[in-house]
Amino acid sequence: MMLMRASLRFLLPLPFLLAGVVYNDNDVCAQQPGGPPLPPPAVTVVTLKAETLTLTRELPGRTHPYVVAEIRPQVSGIIQRQLFTEGKLVKAGQPLYQLDDESYQAEVNSAKASLARAQARLEAARLTARRASELVKANAVSRQEDEDATAALRQAEADVRVAQAAVASTEIILKRARIVAPIDGRIGKSLVTQGALVTANQAAPLATIQQLDPIYVDLTQSSSEILQIRKEVAAGNLASTPNLPVAILLEDGSHYAQRGRLAFSDVTVDPSTGATAIRVIVPNPKEVLLPGMYVRAIVSTGQRRNAVLAPQTGITRDPKGNASALVVNAEGKVEARSVKVSRTIGDQWLVEEGLKAGDRVLVEGVMKVKPGMPVQATEAGTPPPAIPASPPALPQPAQK
């Protein structure tokens, strides 16, 4: 090794020998006694700042219709006609199916006839009661006959009201023979065809109407994460932000144009998954979101004041996973810090312990420095100093 260094010294150009530069065993440039001092190594730093930061969490979820109505018949009968187009928008009250209503129409006619008979009896009872009240004043009839006539009038009036109720009941049944949409929405496939027999309150629906604007997005969040957020809010580290909008990411990773709002957070934990349900309401005017679609939502978990973010390039980890950073102190020397970080936000770490606002963290030139060394720090993003132009060459004297 000594022979190699000696031979290397003879191979070096003369200016290197005159400057007092040699190479040690580690091939690191060292300063010989008596030589000119070397300048401190140049490094790039980022000065940390405190800021108010909204922390978010990306949660998986599924879309669900805002309102769902399953169409079932309220009376029995044969389907005569289907009055809608499958897959189209329908309005509340719009006819969907027409059942065979001949028997129901006959019942209405019978009820109306009974009403007419009751009204005729009422008119006769009213005339009898009027004559009896006039004759009893002249003592032409007994008081008993007058009271019987009055009672017969009251009974005839009651019979008319019963007949009117029967007419109304049969008309309602007749009206239900035409099945209408209970809500606005998009109707799906018809599960029955013309000529099918349906029964009142059957289990199988005839069709389903779904209201898709707005639409629900049901998310899941672990109970342990919810507990951690509540602890940080109770400790004053986080400020609750329940009214911030919720961003939606589609299946292809693109951002949905509309933003949702938090509807509610369930208080029951699913024992099989250890998670709770969170429901978000999202506008869906163009029906881009369809029921059952998988999406992700970026939900705010809280707002942290005086948060400190450090560049990921300035944080290193040892084999045990402990994080550390190199900082340039007020004396211009390198100082090692143990750091605790919690999460990544973009290309930065959220610092919990070890660094504070105003610290200058090394992001470039880390490999050529060590703790205690003086360095020449330059803020990241600062343009490099301009190199002065070399003076013009002096004219050479003419040779004789």
pLDDT tens profile 123-167 = 999 998 888 888 878 787 788 888 888 899 999 999 999 999 999
Q: Are residues 145 and 216 in the same domain?
A: no
User: What confidence score (pLDDT) does residue 36 get?
Assistant: 65
Return the CATH number at 93. Answer: 2.40.50.100
The answer to whether 176 and 105 are in contact (CB under 8 A) is no
Is 180 a residue whose pLDDT tops 90?
yes
Q: Are residues 79 and 135 in the same domain?
A: no
Give a three-class secondary structure readout of 21-44: EEECCCCCEEECCCCCCCCCCEEE
Q: Are residues 109 and 163 in the same domain?
A: yes
Residue 373, exposed/middle/buried by CB under 10 A (0-12, 13-18, 19+)? middle
Give the model's confidence band at 54: pLDDT under 50 very low, under 70 low, under 90 confident, else very high: confident
Residue where a domain stops, chosen among 130, 160, 176: 176
Kindly state whether residue 148 falls inside one of the protein's structural domains. Answer: yes
Separation CA 48–CA 14 (nearest Å): 46
Q: Are residues 79 and 156 in the same domain?
A: no
Q: Are residues 156 and 189 in the same domain?
A: no
pLDDT tens sequence across 338-356:
999 988 888 889 898 889 9
Q: Report which of residues 68 and 307 the model is more confident about.
A: 68
User: What total number of domains does the chain contain?
Assistant: 4
Q: Are residues 96 and 106 in the same domain?
A: no
Q: Are residues 299 and 217 in the same domain?
A: yes
State the residue range of the domain holding 370: 42-47+315-379
pLDDT mean across residues, the chain: 83
Percent of the chain past pLDDT 70, that is, above it, reads 86
Bridge partners, 364 (sequence order): 44
Q: Are residues 218 and 299 in the same domain?
A: yes
Q: Are residues 222 and 157 in the same domain?
A: no
Amino acid identity at 210: Q
Kindly state whether residue 385 falls inside one of the protein's structural domains. Answer: no
Q: Are residues 290 and 248 in the same domain?
A: yes
Q: Are residues 162 and 262 in the same domain?
A: no
Q: Are residues 113 and 92 in the same domain?
A: no
Separation CA 145–CA 152 (nearest Å): 11
Give the model's confidence band at 396: pLDDT under 50 very low, under 70 low, under 90 confident, else very high: low
Kindly state whether residue 154 falls inside one of the protein's structural domains. Answer: yes
Could you give the 3-state DSSP secondary structure of residue 108?
A: helix
Block residue for tokens 């509309």? 258
Amino acid identity at 209: I
Is 29 a residue whose pLDDT tops 80?
no
Return the CATH number at 238. Answer: 2.40.30.170
Of 264-268, 275-279, 361-365, which gets the smallest average pLDDT? Answer: 264-268
Return the CATH number at 363. Answer: 2.40.420.20
